[in-house]
Amino acid sequence: MIDCIRTALTKVRKDKFQTMARNTIESTCPVCNKTYTRFQGTRQRCCSYSCARLQPIGIRIENSIIKESNGCWVWTKCIDESGYGVSWRDGRKIAAHRASWEYYNSPLQDGEWVLHKCDNRPCVNPDHLFIGNALDNAQDKISKGRGQGKLTPDQVRAIRSDPRASRKVAPEFRTSKTTILQIRRRLLYDWVD
Ligand SMILES: [Zn+2]
Ligand SMILES: [Zn+2]
């Protein structure tokens, strides 16, 4: 039975690969200007992974979003556990909505948070973003009815006294690692003793 599925899968992959191999097109890498062949229909824009990592953030954003009718630019690449887009800039990981804000507006200072007006976490449209601090972020969450309010004071105390890493604790409380960290740093639920 398992072997059957495996054979079938291998065949599907083989067929797919052969179809793709027939439809290769010549492209120019936007980073190193080399000509390379890529499969038609893929979203690949660079000749190699190392070039892709060095891709200018503006091009990267353009290539990673779908512009929806409500104006949201929804991130289609990697999404983190809290639902925000993840991008790369100068070879380092960065939250996509922060990268977008910095690219279209100005560099962020320490302690500045980029918040969503549209409450759509994978959205990176700079017009849907605004700057706030950690407190604004917490208040924003309450006003939008998520995050705070979901946990009871007892749960908050349990989170704070739990010696385990936040990423281990998060799934048990059906929340994100970031929320656990903020609870522990008293950026959230500071009213619970
Ligand atoms: Zn290249
Ligand atoms: Zn939006």
pLDDT digits over 174-189, tens only? Answer: 788 888 998 898 888 8
Cβ atoms within 10 A of the Cβ of 100, count? 28
Are 95 and 149 in the same domain? no
Are 110 and 62 in the same domain? yes
Are 28 and 65 in the same domain? no
d(CA 1, CA 38): 36
Residue 169 has pLDDT above 80, yes or no: yes
Residue 148 has pLDDT above 50, yes or no: no
Count of the separate structural domains present in the chain: 3
- For residue 31, the ligand closest to its alpha carbon is 1
- For residue 123, the ligand closest to its alpha carbon is 2
142 or 122, which is more confident: 122
How many Å lie between the centroid of ligand 1 and the Cα of residue 53? Answer: 10
Q: Is residue 151 part of a domain?
A: yes
How many Å lie between the centroid of ligand 1 and the Cα of residue 38? Answer: 12
Q: Is residue 9 part of a domain?
A: no
How many Å lie between the centroid of ligand 1 and the Cα of residue 54? Answer: 9
92 or 103, which is more confident: 103
- For residue 115, the ligand closest to its alpha carbon is 2
149 or 46, which is more confident: 46
How many Å lie between the centroid of ligand 1 and the Cα of residue 75? Answer: 23
Residue listed under structure tokens 């052969």: 18
How many Å lie between the centroid of ligand 2 and the Cα of residue 152? Answer: 30
> Which tokens sit at 93?
């990981």
Output the pLDDT for position 141: 72
Task: Write out pLDDT tens, residues 53-100.
Answer: 777 788 888 888 999 999 999 999 888 888 899 987 776 788 999 999
Output the pLDDT for position 179: 87
Contact between residue 142 and residue 131 where contact means Cβ atoms under 8 Å apart: no
- Helix, strand and coil percent figures for the chain, each rounded to 5: 40, 20, 40
Mean pLDDT of the chain: 82
Q: Is residue 172 part of a domain?
A: yes
Q: What domain range includes position 123? A: 56-132
How many Å lie between the centroid of ligand 2 and the Cα of residue 67? Answer: 9
- The CA distances from residue 21 to 13, 36, 37, 186, in Å, are 12, 14, 10, 55
Are 127 and 180 in the same domain? no
